[in-house]
Amino acid sequence: AQSVSQHNHHVILSEAASLELGCNYSYGGTVNLFWYVQYPGQHLQLLLKYFSGDPLVKGIKGFEAEFIKSKFSFNLRKPSVQWSDTAEYFCAVNALLRGNKLVFGAGTILRVKS
Amino acid sequence: ETGVTQSPTHLIKTRGQQVTLRCSSQSGHNTVSWYQQALGQGPQFIFQYYREEENGRGNFPPRFSGLQFPNYSSELNVNALELDDSALYLCASSSQGASGANVLTFGAGSRLTVL
C-alpha cells in the first residue's frame, strides 16, 4: 500500500531560521506531489505542487520543495521562517495509476517563536 | 468565486445512529472527494464522486456511503456509527475529471463526535 512519511511531527523554530520538512513516499510509479498547509483555525490550503518538469517547485509565501525521484522524497523548504508560518503542514501523494486519491502524511506542526 | 462549504460544522451523535454530512463544491468544480481526519493524523481518503457516480474508494466499510447531485454538491452518509468514527470529515472539490491530476480545494470540515 502507498504510504507517506513525514519525518517530524513537531518542529519549533525561531523567526528567521531556515526550515526543511522531510517527506518520503513509498510508491515507485509516476506520482503527483503536494504540500498543503493548515493555519490555525483555517482549512487546508495548497502550498505547492509537482506534476512534472523542473523538480524544484516554488509555492506561495516563499516556500519551495524539491522532488528527488531516486530518494522518493519531496522535502519542503523555506530560507527564513516568520511567525505567521506557524501551522500544520501535510505532504500528499497521488499515484497516477492507482486512482484519484491523495495519500497524506501525518502532518508536521510547525511553531515559530517570535 | 465561492469556496467549498460544509455543513454542519459540529455535531454529536451516539453509537448506532446515522449521520449525513453535506458539501457544496467550489464554483466550476465537478468532482468531490471526502476525507476523514482523525485527531493527530493526516486526512484519509474515503471516496470520490464524479458525474454523480463513485469514482474510487478508500479502505472504508460499506456503511460509509455518498451521493453527488447534478449541481455537483455531495453528501456523506455514515450508518451504525462507532466511537472510532469520531473525526473531522473534509470535503474537497476539484475540476478534474475521472482521471488526471487532482488539485483539491478543501472545505473547513464537519467535526463529528460519537459518544
A105 touches chain B (CB under 8 A): yes
**Alpha-carbon distance B75 to A20, whole Å?**
38
Verify whether the Cβ–Cβ distance B45 to A103 is below 8 Å. Answer: yes
Q: For residue A87, give the 3-state DSSP assignment.
A: strand
Q: How many angstroms separate the CA of residue A94 from the nearest CA in chain B?
A: 8
pLDDT computed for residue B43 by the predictor: 96
pLDDT computed for residue B95 by the predictor: 82
**Alpha-carbon distance B79 to B55, whole Å?**
21
Q: How many angstroms separate the CA of residue B102 from the nearest CA in chain A?
A: 7
pLDDT computed for residue B7 by the predictor: 97
Verify whether the Cβ–Cβ distance A102 to B107 is below 8 Å. Answer: no
Q: How many angstroms separate the CA of residue A51 from the nearest CA in chain B?
A: 8
The residue among B78, B61, B93 whose CA lies nearest residue B11 is B78
> Mean pLDDT across the stretch B88-97?
87
Residues 6+ apart with CB under 8 A from A85: A19, A61, A78, A110, A112
How far is C-alpha B58 from the geometric centre of its chain's CA atoms? 12
- Structure-model confidence comparison of residues A29 and B11, the more confident one: B11
Q: Which amino acid is present at A66? A: E
| pLDDT of residue A60 exceeding 90 | yes
Peptide bond connecting A40 to the previous residue in cis, omega within 30 degrees of 0 = no
**Alpha-carbon distance B25 to B106, whole Å?**
9
**Alpha-carbon distance B2 to B60, whole Å?**
30
The residue among A84, A85, A94, A90 whose CA lies nearest residue A105 is A90
| pLDDT of residue B36 exceeding 70 | yes
| Distance, first Cα to last Cα, chain A | 41
b/e map A79-96, b = 16+ CB within 10 Å: eebeeebbbbbbbbbbbe
Verify whether the Cβ–Cβ distance B104 to A49 is below 8 Å. Answer: no
pLDDT computed for residue B5 by the predictor: 96
Residue numbers in B near A96 (CB within 8 A): 101
Q: For residue B85, give the 3-state DSSP assignment.
A: helix
Could you read off the pLDDT of A29-51 as tens digits, one per residue?
888 999 999 999 899 999 999 99
> Mean pLDDT across the stretch B61-87?
97
The residue among B42, B39, B34, B93 whose CA lies nearest residue A90 is B42
* Nearest residue in A to B96, CA atom: A100
Confidence at A28, pLDDT banded by 50, 70, 90? confident
